[in-house]
Amino acid sequence: MQRMNQQLRVVMLLRQFYPRTGGYQNQALRLARELQKRDIVVSVLTQQHGTLAPYEVHQQIPIHRVPTFRAGHLASVSYLFTSFLWMVRNRRQFQIIHANRSSSGLIAGLIGCLLRKKVLYKLTRGDEVEAKGFRTTWLGSLKVHCLKRTVDKFVAITEEIKEALQQIGIPAEKVVKISNGMPLEDLSQAYDKEQVKLQVGWAAETTVITFVGRLVPAKGVDWLLEVWQHVVRKHERARLLIVGDGSERGALEAQAQALGISNTLAFVGRQPDVFKFLAASDIFVLPSRQEGTSNALLEAMSQSLPVIVADDVLGGNRGVVNHQQDGYVIKLGESKTFVDTLCKLLEDVELRTEMGKRARRKIEKNFSMTSVADRYCALYHELLGNTAK
């Protein structure tokens, strides 16, 4: 057995990473930085895209990019092959392979088995078990068979994912629930709230409701716009801020135009710093139809914003928000309740303030990146059979 004070080395395996960013990539980066504070050496192995350099350091995290074919099955096969070659050459530089998402999980399992490395596979989306056909197709069954034999620990970010893994035959002792995490810095305080509103083109006294996320059907922004047309009739000074981009943006802008509410909202696209816009916000909304553990939701709550979320089919939102305590959970399709709840928060500043404080305390207690990193540290050492000094 090794001792707990021996330096630990981890390679994170992701198909996409910086500068291609999204929810699970941001989580991996935040976790890597927090782990380094604990003297754990973390590097990232990812797929090379376009003209990106095969190696660079971003926010003190070494990033190694391996060449692959661009798309299709050849991309997966070449990713397996080039990742394997990289890990063979660098096998003395890491003890654990920390994989994110199913394709990387399968690859990590196979490589770990061949190189006798410990493998951790984190499921990063709420519908990963279903989306990959793990329980509905013969290929999915084959993948599960491989994962059960090659992966040492599975990390589920919600209880629903944990239960789904056990339902497809993953042993309970191999599954651990670790939520996504958030740094606790109050980042929105760096901005002047009224100035941000003016930059968007709104008056300083405007009350701002904000959505942050990809503009895709699963996020429910079309439902939000339907609700918004009723809210803004009662609250003429309220404005809806939509931060993000995606395949549905054109359709959503057309919907807002058809509803006659285009002058009451703003699409500002994808932003490198969402905290600037959270600084200008009074309420955060996330009407997702499907959600794992939303980074945007955690970010909003960390900045003391009251939140309204949909009770999505995957249970991700209700796994974060306590109804009527640190936010509101609205059943999908209950538009009148959504309208009434938004109006209630718009009309009650004290309620917004108190609920925002509770949201912040929730993040501090249950979702801080510090506590998340502590759990991963313990899990890594458990995998290696390390003992306390």
The identity of residue 151, as a single letter, is V
The identity of residue 95, as a single letter, is Q
pLDDT at 6: 63
pLDDT tens, residue by residue, 13-44? 998 899 887 788 989 999 999 999 999 999 99
The rounded Cα 331 to chain-centroid distance in angstroms is 22
CATH for the stretch 9-181+368-384 = 3.40.50.2000
Q: What six digits make up the tokens of 192? A: 């002047």
Average pLDDT value over all residues in the chain: 91
pLDDT at 387: 55
Q: What is the mean pLDDT of residues 162-169?
A: 91
pLDDT tens, residue by residue, 342-382? 999 999 999 999 999 999 999 999 999 999 999 999 999 99
The identity of residue 197, as a single letter, is K
| pLDDT score of 167 more than 70 | yes
Q: Cβ(118)–Cβ(112) under 8 Å?
A: yes
pLDDT at 72: 73
User: What is the topology classification, in CATH, of domain 187-366?
Assistant: Rossmann fold (3.40.50)
| pLDDT score of 389 more than 50 | no
Q: Cβ(118)–Cβ(96) under 8 Å?
A: yes
The secondary structure of 11-60 as a DSSP string is EEEESS-TTS--HHHHHHHHHHHHHHTTT-EEEEEEE--TT--SEEEETT
The Cα 356–Cα 293 span in angstroms is 19
Residue extent(s) of CATH 3.40.50.2000 domains in the chain: 9-181+368-384, 187-366
Q: What is the mean pLDDT of residues 228-257?
A: 97
The Cα 314–Cα 159 span in angstroms is 10
pLDDT tens, residue by residue, 281-305? 999 999 999 888 899 999 999 999 9
Residue 113, CB half-sphere, CA atoms under 13 Å: how many? 12
Beta-sheet pairing, 283-286 with 118-123: unpaired
Q: What is the mean pLDDT of residues 48-57?
A: 92
Label residue 323 left, alpha or beta by phi (over 0 means left) and psi (-120 to 50 means alpha). Answer: beta
DSSP 8-state class, residue 307: E
pLDDT at 268: 96
Among 3-12, 49-58, 110-119, 368-377, the minimum mean pLDDT is found in 3-12
